[in-house]
Amino acid sequence: MFAMRGMAVAFSVFVIVYCALSFAVCLGWKRFSLHAQKSPARRAADLLFAFRMLPLAASLAVTALFTVPSFLLLEPRSIDEPVGGITLALSLCGALLVLVGAVHTLAAAWKSSRTVAGWSGGAERVESSVPVPVLRIARKLPAMTAAGIFRPRVLLSGAAEFVLTVNELHCALRHEMAHVQRRDNLRKLLLRCVAFPGMAGLETAWLEATEMSADDAAVSNAGEALDLAAALIKVSRLGPPESHAELTAALVHSRASVMNVRVKRLIAWNESRLVAASGCSLWYGLGAAIAVAAAFSVTYSQLLLRVHTATEWLVR
Amino acid sequence: MDSIFHFRGRARASLVQLGPLEQRLLEALWKRKNATVRELLEAGCDDLAYTTVMTTLDRLFKKNLLAREAEGRAFRYTPRFTRQELNREMAGQAFRQLLDAAPGSSMPLSYLVEILTERDAQLLDDLRQLVESKRRELRHREAEQEKD
């Protein structure tokens, strides 16, 4: 009974924090996106992804760091306290949320794996300078895409190889390598865990930012930026983007009207973008994490007491 | 919600026939938020006759696109909808008309895809020209730098 009560409390707190924060993210993402877009594309992509993952990260942190320890340490095991109807309903919702997230993630991974296996049938390895395997596929589309989450590879169609010049091909490959290095496919998989209605706009904004970030990472001068822009245009002409490959990072993933922004951005490339790309957001993040950890270490016992009082109120 | 309902219910049939003068006066009103006929004439519509502006605004009011309130002997007109709301409704109306035009729904949708593809192709041509001109500019600049 103690364990059951603990699980009910943990799932209830999880679902309350998750839904409240998801709702806040739904309401505030447009304003946040406007602010993020003022940053370089790479940081904008990181910020948007962090904002999208915030409900899950915060609810997991609150549950694992506060709710469960406060329950285990402060709840008397001898008292057989019944669980209230609301808590029971909330905990069932929490469990369902976790289950749906897991099923959604596994289904997306399975579907993507089958799609990529279908594309890769009869593929042959191509010599290239990038550190992941580049496979030439028999199909015309997808023209070029980074596939795979734990064993990444780049799929390149013969048609794309034919229409692109050597420089354009190198830039396009570097673009795909940027997706691989930043583990964008894994991030897409993580987004499948955190389903919540009304998040499509934020996810699209993040997707656009990842493409721009990969564009920035792939070019280091105006000539290369024009090569990549030309590659995008040529690949767009090969056909519409594949819509059913959700866990892959295609060179062109949207219609020309959306891609327009990326091409114009590449045409307007300048040195300042190169400087901006090498920021030190990791150090800021590390500093913030240390500061938060230090603050928590000082106030942890007090926080546990308060969380326990709150969960007591919830159970009753 | 009530206003949108009226807008959709009463003004739908006439939206596509919004004439150039009506569009011009709507634009002027969007810029100024609200205005009387006299204020519109003073704000750049002075090539039009007072009665023309008055009749056109009255027509827009009857189409339920403007609200008006009496101000002395004249009326002060205010747009009932933002530019985005009106554009969205007009696009929606165009799509609805297209879908209603043929008994089978797949045909108009294929027209839409065709139009989008044509527009995409045109856009790609424009972008390619932009890239080429930028390339020429870059080569020219590099050549000049080499000369220096």
pLDDT at B2: 39
Provide mean pLDDT across the span B31-56.
89
- Comparing CA positions, the residue from A199, A205, A246, A189 lying closest to residue A55 is A199
pLDDT at A292: 85
pLDDT at A214 over 90: yes
Of A26-35, A253-262, B63-72, the least confident: A253-262
Amino acid making up residue A149: I
pLDDT at B7 over 70: no
Using CB atoms, pick whichever of A229, A257, A260 lies closest to residue B131. Answer: A229
Residues of chain A neighbouring B135 (CB-CB closer than 8 A): 226
Provide mean pLDDT across the span B84-94.
81
Chain A within 8 Å of B116 (Cβ-Cβ)?
yes
Alpha-carbon gap, residue A67 to A49, rounded angstroms: 26
Whether residues A256 and B135 touch (CB distance < 8 A) is answered with no
Helices (H), A62-199: 68-74, 85-120, 158-163, 166-181, 184-193
Residues of chain B neighbouring A223 (CB-CB closer than 8 A): 138
pLDDT at B68 over 50: yes
- Give the orientation angle of helix A281-315 with respect to helix A85-120, to 10 degrees: 140
pLDDT at A1: 76
A224: nearest CA in chain B? Answer: B135
| Strand A144-147 versus strand A153-157 pairing type | antiparallel
Contact A175, A154 (CB under 8 A): no
Provide mean pLDDT across the span B5-24.
61
Architecture of domain B2-84: Orthogonal Bundle (1.10)
**Residue B46, helix vs strand vs coil:** coil
Whether residues B127 and A223 touch (CB distance < 8 A) is answered with no
pLDDT at B10: 46
Contacts of A25 (CB under 8 A, 6+ apart): A51, A52, A54, A55, A196, A199, A202
Most confident of A147-151, B66-70, B137-141: B66-70
The domain segmentation of chain A, as residue ranges, is 2-315
Contact A197, A55 (CB under 8 A): no
Most confident of A115-124, A241-250, B55-64, B78-87: B55-64
Q: How confident is the model at residue B103 (pLDDT cuts 50, 70, 90)?
A: low
- What would the pLDDT profile of A56-81 be if each residue is shown by its tens digit? 999 999 999 999 999 888 888 777 77
Provide mean pLDDT across the span A7-25.
92
Of A130-134, A146-150, A251-255, B50-54, the least confident: A251-255
Using CB atoms, pick whichever of A223, A236, A255 lies closest to residue B138. Answer: A223
More confident residue, A230 or B89: A230
To probe the interface with B, which of A163, A235, A255 has the most B CB atoms within 10 Å? A255
Helices (H), chain A: 2-36, 41-61, 68-74, 85-120, 158-163, 166-181, 184-193, 200-218, 222-237, 256-267, 271-277, 281-315
The domain segmentation of chain B, as residue ranges, is 2-84, 105-147
B130: nearest CA in chain A? Answer: A267
Extended strands (E) in B10-63: none
Provide mean pLDDT across the span A286-312.
85
Task: Look over chain A and give the mean of its residue pLDDT values, rounded to a whole number.
Answer: 86
Q: Would you state the structure tokens that stand for residue A284, as one six-digit string?
A: 């800021």
Provide mean pLDDT across the span A145-159.
90
Provide mean pLDDT across the span A188-202.
88
Of A119-133, A163-177, B92-106, the least confident: B92-106
Measured over the CA atoms of residue B64, residue B65, residue B68 and residue B73, the dihedral's sign is negative
pLDDT at B27 over 80: yes
Q: How confident is the model at residue B51 (pLDDT cuts 50, 70, 90)?
A: very high
**Residue A244, helix vs strand vs coil:** coil
pLDDT at A2 over 60: yes
Of A1-15, A145-159, A229-243, B107-121, the least confident: B107-121
Contact A223, B138 (CB under 8 A): yes
pTM: 0.73
More confident residue, A282 or A128: A128
More confident residue, B79 or A87: B79
pLDDT at A161 over 50: yes
Provide mean pLDDT across the span B69-90.
88
Residues of chain A neighbouring B128 (CB-CB closer than 8 A): 230, 233
